[in-house]
Amino acid sequence: MTTTTITTRAASVKDAKAIHQLLVYYSSRGNLLPRTHENICRHIRDFIVLEEDGQIIASGALEVMSHDLGEIRSMVVSADRLRNGLGQVVAEQLIEVARQVGLERVMALTYVPEFFTQLNFKQVERDTLPEKIWQVCVKCYKFNRCDEIAVILKL
């Protein structure tokens, strides 16, 4: 029996294509908002990846929204690796990054609030997050009909 090791690391520009492919898979199904390859490259420092045998199997980003608020964004796990705890590993690593940079709160907009509530996030109204709404949401094609649920974790 062969065992492989999964490593967690900061993403590099070389990972952008694989991250984009994972995001396209889920965004094409309506499970998250799309991001272009160029956007991923511009924000690559926000991303972490989980890698196994040279393949990116999960990733996520922590975007700093304000002096005290960060957002977990674009969190994905390869479809063939779902339900193995990899999403939790990504989320926990991003929360740790938030702590390291001195943030006090971490939020997410999600279609799967149960995933985040298992990590002690609380559901909140979107309008309690003006940093997110007026920096990002206002530019989104779903702005007036957003169906995502806001969750927040106080660190």
CATH number of the domain where residue 143 is located: 3.40.630.30
Contact by Cβ (8 Å): 11, 18: no
Alpha carbon distance 71, 150 (integer Å): 10
Chain segment 141-153, per-residue pLDDT in tens: 454 656 788 899 9
- Residue 21 belongs to what domain range? 6-154
Alpha carbon distance 7, 11 (integer Å): 11
Half-sphere exposure of 110 (CA within 13 A, CB side): 22
Residue 49 domain-assigned?
yes
Confidence of residue 1 (pLDDT cuts 50, 70, 90): low
Chain segment 91-135, per-residue pLDDT in tens: 999 999 999 999 999 999 888 899 999 999 999 987 787 565 545
Residue 57 domain-assigned?
yes
**Domain total in the chain:** 1
Alpha carbon distance 72, 60 (integer Å): 7
Residue 1 domain-assigned?
no
Residue 136 domain-assigned?
yes
What one-character-per-residue DSSP string does 20-31 give?
Answer: HHHHHHHHTTTS
Residue 110 domain-assigned?
yes
